[in-house]
Structure 1
Amino acid sequence: MTATDPTLTGLAQGWCALSLLHGRIEAHVERALQAAHDLSVREYSLLDVLSRQHDGPGGHLQMKQVADAVVLSQSATTRLVTRLEDRGLLSRYICDTDRRGIYTDVSEAGLSLLAAARPTNDQALREALDSAAANPDLAPLVTVVEGMHGTPAPRP
Structure 2
Amino acid sequence: MRMQQPARAVGLSQSATTRLVTRLENRGLLRRYLCEDDRRGICSEVTQDGRDLLAQARPTHDAVLKEVLAEAAEQPELAPLAAVLS
Asked whether the two chains share a fold, i.e. TM above 0.5, the reply is: yes
Aligned to 2:22: 82
Deviation at 1:115, TM superposition (A): 0.6
Corresponding residue to 1:101 among 34, 41, 47: 41
Larger Rg: 1
Deviation at 1:139, TM superposition (A): 1.1
Q: Which one scores higher on RCO, CA 8 angstroms, separation ≥ 6?
A: 1
Structure 1 counterpart of 2:9, which letter?
A
Aligned to 1:41: none
> TM-score, normalising length from structure 1?
0.52
Aligned to 1:35: none
RMSD between aligned residues:
1.1
Q: Which has the higher strand share?
A: 2
Deviation at 1:89, TM superposition (A): 0.5
Secondary structure at the aligned position of 1:96 is classed as coil
Indicate whether 1:64 and 2:41 are aligned: no
Task: Please say if residues 34 and 40 of structure 2, whose CA atoms lie closer than 8 Å, have aligned partners that are also in contact.
Answer: yes
> How many pairs does the alignment contain?
86
State the identity %. Answer: 60
Deviation at 1:119, TM superposition (A): 1.2
Instruction: Please list every run of 5 or more consecutive structure 2 residues that lacks an aligned counterpart in the other structure.
Output: none
Where in structure 1 do 4 or more consecutive aligned residues deviate above 6 Å?
A: none
Instruction: Please list every run of 5 or more consecutive structure 1 residues that lacks an aligned counterpart in the other structure.
Output: 1-60, 147-156
> TM-score, normalising length from structure 2?
0.91
